[in-house]
Amino acid sequence: MRFPLALSAKIAGHIIKHKLRKTPKFAMVLQLEPLHTCNLTCTGCGRIREYSTSLKDIVPLEKCLQAATECDAPMVSICGGEPLIYPKIEELVNGILAQGRIVYVCTNGMFMRKKMKDYLAAIYSPEVETKLKKLLDEGLISDQDADTIRKSDEAARKKTVIRPIRWMYWNVHVDGLEYTHDLIVEREGVFKECVAAIRMAKILGYQTATNTTVYKETHVQEIEDMFRFLSSLEVDAHTISPGYEYDAAKKDMVKRLGKQPEDFFLTRKMTREKFKDMEKWADRFTIIGTRVYQEFLAGKRELTCTAWAIPTYNIKGWKAPCYLMTDGHYNGYQEMLREVKWEKYGVVDGVARDPRCENCMVHCGYDPSGALGTNYQPGDNWKNLKYNFGARPRPYPASPQLFQRAFNGVSVGKGHLAPAKAALKTAGLTQEGADTEFYVQQMKASAAAGASSGANRRSNSEGCGTGDTSQRDELLT
């Protein structure tokens, strides 16, 4: 099956229950933001900018758990900020699992290996040695890490940890291959760390997912290569969503980078162009969502926004109307459902009810619409069932060439900002043209080089870049 039967059945059961009860509005996924602090400063991230005055605040553990109970969504996506910075993240994950919900930990991947080392220390016994050896062989932990795990003390053994169980997924933020991803997250080395974390997670038996936002500068060929590469790592599931110019990110783009939002974000028309092969991707890779939403992204139909089905809870309360746009915060989920004038938002038959919604086709607004039957067309339910309960696509075969195409930036020894600058200087190239040109050049170079994957693996345990974004800012402006 494309996704584990128990998970798909849990979500389908939740929808059927509410349909039978004729519940007008209900939650399918809770976006829980226990904090907004983050170790990165990604371009396009509204969170760290919109909540910049409250980055040190956190939602107490009990309130997080109450929010999950209150909206009763079968799935909770713990995001942020970087949720692995949350001091009680282990207790939060385990608390939500104890409520019988599916947990996605949406992370930028930088602290994942640390959390998995904590897990190994907590469960260490001689049987763990086989896994330690594999992790050492693959360069995913150091000798010192292995020794610390072996010598774990009473405190390490008693520590609450995040364990690999079927109801929990690491959901790693990956916005493209190395060059694009590091450019978007504004730091070199992050892609490499994400890949190392995913490989370690797979060895330890965790379920892994990735989430990708596609921007104007992301080339379609690259999205396909990214899915091939992630599939070769046996990542279990992917979400993909178009990046559009929502308020908080748009303001930052103009103020900090001196760049116009239309140079970076996708309009509706551009989204449809980029996602025209969405259904083909979904046939080949384990993309989460409904067939109906995929048709919507590909420009084959309209949907009405159902943002209330993926509510967001954070330090200020229940955020309305949606994950991206803020017109207010409410104390309770039901209060938010009652008070918000939902009919003021979204795009209906191509006409934006609110101008800020005009270019939005994001999954948190429209993916539930595909499952809930808004704009229903005959055969939709069957299509969605067939997709979600259908056969699982086979992993894409790993190869040195694919590995080399994935690591097309700093790891090939040039530092990815320098060649990007050179590409920009090529006569007549726009920013998008330069990115495309650079990507095509990299693919050609990697095919010619056919370098072994081992060369890249050696540096997996190295630290990430300095965080200095001046080169990148210069490039973008």
Question: Which residues of the chain form contacts with ligand SF4 (CB under 6 A)?
Answer: 38, 40-42, 45, 47-48, 80-82, 108, 173, 185, 305, 307, 321-322, 324-325, 345-346, 356-357, 360, 362, 365
Beta carbon nearer to ligand SF4, 112 or 443: 112
Residue nearest to ligand SF4 according to CB distances in the complex: 365
Closest separation between CB of residue 386 and ligand SF4, Å? Answer: 26
What ranges make up the beta strands (E) of 225-374? 237-242, 312-314, 317-321, 326-330, 347-348, 351-352
At a CB cut-off of 8 Å and minimum separation 6, what does 310 contact? 27, 28, 29, 30, 31, 322, 323, 364, 365, 367, 368
- What's the number of CA atoms in the CB half-sphere (13 Å) around residue 140? 23
Closest separation between CB of residue 159 and ligand SF4, Å? Answer: 25
Closest separation between CB of residue 219 and ligand SF4, Å? Answer: 20
Beta carbon nearer to ligand SF4, 27 or 135: 27
At 76, give phi and psi (nearest 5°): -120, 125
Closest separation between CB of residue 356 and ligand SF4, Å? Answer: 6
Query: In 392-414, which positions are buried (b, 16+ CB within 10 angstroms) versus exposed (e)?
Result: ebeebeeebbbbbbbbbbbbbee
Closest separation between CB of residue 313 and ligand SF4, Å? Answer: 16
Beta carbon nearer to ligand SF4, 65 or 307: 307
Closest separation between CB of residue 400 and ligand SF4, Å? Answer: 30
Tokens 């630290």 locate to 463
Beta carbon nearer to ligand SF4, 237 or 360: 360
Beta carbon nearer to ligand SF4, 48 or 410: 48
CB distance 123 to 132 below 8 Å:
no
Closest separation between CB of residue 346 and ligand SF4, Å? Answer: 4
Of 77, 159, 85, 83, whose CA–CA distance to 117 is shortest? 159
Beta carbon nearer to ligand SF4, 68 or 325: 325
Rg (CA), the chain: 22
CA distance 91 to 65: 10
Closest separation between CB of residue 210 and ligand SF4, Å? Answer: 13
Q: Which residues pair with 212 in a beta bridge?
A: 240
Beta carbon nearer to ligand SF4, 288 or 362: 362
Q: What is the dihedral of CA 24, 28, 31, 34, to 10 degrees?
A: 90
Beta carbon nearer to ligand SF4, 145 or 186: 186
Beta carbon nearer to ligand SF4, 184 or 235: 184
Beta carbon nearer to ligand SF4, 404 or 469: 469
Of 150, 212, 130, 135, whose CA–CA distance to 177 is shortest? 212
DSSP for 420-465, written as a single string: HHHHHHSTT--HHHHHHHHHHHHHHHHHHH---HHHHHGGGGS---
Closest separation between CB of residue 301 and ligand SF4, Å? Answer: 16
Closest separation between CB of residue 365 and ligand SF4, Å? Answer: 2
Closest separation between CB of residue 285 and ligand SF4, Å? Answer: 22
CB distance 241 to 204 below 8 Å:
no
What distance lies between CA 366 and its chain's CA centroid?
A: 16
Pairing relationship of beta strands 102-107 and 75-78 according to DSSP bridges = parallel
Distances in Å between the alpha carbon of 330 and those of 11, 242, 315, 338? 26, 27, 11, 10
Beta carbon nearer to ligand SF4, 215 or 403: 215
Helix (H, G, I), strand (E, B) or coil at 322: coil
Query: In 266-289, which positions are buried (b, 16+ CB within 10 angstroms) versus exposed (e)?
Result: bbbebbbebbeebbebbebbbbbb
CA distance 418 to 422: 6
CA distance 348 to 373: 15
